[in-house]
Chain A
Amino acid sequence: MTAAALRISLLAGLIAAAGALDAALVSRLLPYGPPDLALLVVVSLAMRHGLLPGAVAGAVAGYLRDLVTGGPLGVFVTAYLLAGVLIGLFAPLANQRHPYLVAGAAIPATLLHHFSAWAVVTATGLAPVAGLAALGAAAVAAPLNAVLARPADAAVGAIDALIFRRHPARIIGRGVIR
């Protein structure tokens, strides 16, 4: 298996595992404004590898989320994709060695993700979602995501380090390995 294929498989597996954890465990333990582990993986990928990997990871995470939640496909694809794009756009401007970089990025990503999902659902008339409730859930989820951002980033970093050890001569991304 090539390094790229291995990396894609591992990252897809990580996103799928994070999404399954979100749906099966996290949302049960914290029914209102639960943290979003899949989004944190997307944020970490976008911070480490830039716009395109962030966008693709967002699309995959959103697609899986759409599949699991039972809603129309595309709602969360759009929301996660936008979050990945936002973080990927600003990643080159950030100090990659800052210890709270991912935690700081998780907050705007969470807010954008919640807002875009609410906007899509409201604009398409899919479900009656109260804006205030959505804002409250985002306000609760954002700090929780900030707290959990480093462990999620560490998981992504572990995959990057694994790929780098197995294929040291290949460039696996344009970000740094922390």
Chain B
Amino acid sequence: MRLRIGLVAILLAAALALLTMQVRLPDRREVGPIGSLILSWIGPAHSALSSAGNSASSLWRLYREIGKLRAENTRLREEVERLVRESALLREQAQATQRLEALLEIRKQLPGRVLGARVVGRDATRWFDVILVDRGERDGVRRNAPVVSTGGVVGRVLHAGAATSQVLLITDPRSAAGVLLQQSREAGVVQGQGQSLLRLKYISRGQEIVVGEAVVTSGLSSVFPRGLPVGSVESVVREQGAAYQEALVRPAASLNRLEEVLILLDGGPRR
């Protein structure tokens, strides 16, 4: 045991001596030939390990970068989704504004009090051409009040509830209105067929109907005031032996895409 302790003491003394000697050197370091030899051995291994370390560091950085990119990607996706939602909302609002501006323009030309209403429902079966609007009796809406849109005549109020009303579209078979061919001033009646086109009836056979001619309300019925656009002639129907000729009329209003309408509270014919 003493020998061991003695050897350890010698080792310690040698270490301190080495340290003292090195500290006294000008560069404070001198590895000597043995140190140089060892360094030449371990140098390549050190380089290889260092390269491996660099690769490991690169992989680690890449891994961390991927994590950051993933988080950034998620954030950007959410941002894009939010912007897409906002964009759609703004586009919707812009379109609504355009529609409302057009309605406002129409409203200036209409007689009496006019009430704007939003279309809130439609017969899901499409068997009946009826829409539901968000205005009712408490807003002054009454049965048979004319309803128009930016294009022209939409229909009339079929039933006025307290807060909502049902509007019978002019395409419904129960719907009919007195009209005039705008150019020839020939009077007739348009009636719904449950389809997209209206049937113009009771035009005298001697009168030539021009395809594309505008059809407006005549004011002769008790519902619609005079001069509201109803549609335009799509085709003429002449049946052999019939007393009158008929025509198919395309409604001026886009009845399948109604979103806002105007209800004429003081409706009825204007003489």
Contact = CB atoms under 8 A, between A and B. Distances in A.
Interface string B54-83: 001100100000000000000000000000
Interface stretch (A51-59, A107-115, A145-153): A51-59
A29 B38 contact: no
Interface residues of A, number: 36
B90 interface: no
B46 interface: yes
B18 A73 contact: yes
B8 interface: yes
Main secondary structure of the interface of A (DSSP, over half): helix
A85 B28 CA distance: 26
A126 B131 CA distance: 93
Interface stretch (B9-17, B92-100, B160-168): B9-17
B50 interface: yes
A70 interface: yes
Contact of A73 (B7, B19, B60): B19
A29 B57 contact: yes
A20 B49 contact: yes
B48 to A, nearest CB: 8
Contacts, number: 98
Interface residues of B, number: 33
Interface in B1-49: 4-5, 7-8, 11-12, 14-16, 18-23, 25, 28-31, 35, 38-39, 42, 45-46, 49
A157 to B, nearest CB: 22
B57 A74 contact: no
A120 B16 CA distance: 10
B49 A67 contact: no
21 contacts: A17-B45, A20-B49, A24-B46, A24-B52, A25-B56, A29-B56, A55-B7, A55-B11, A56-B11, A64-B42, A67-B39, A71-B29, A72-B19, A72-B28, A72-B29, A74-B18, A74-B19, A74-B20, A77-B18, A81-B11, A124-B23
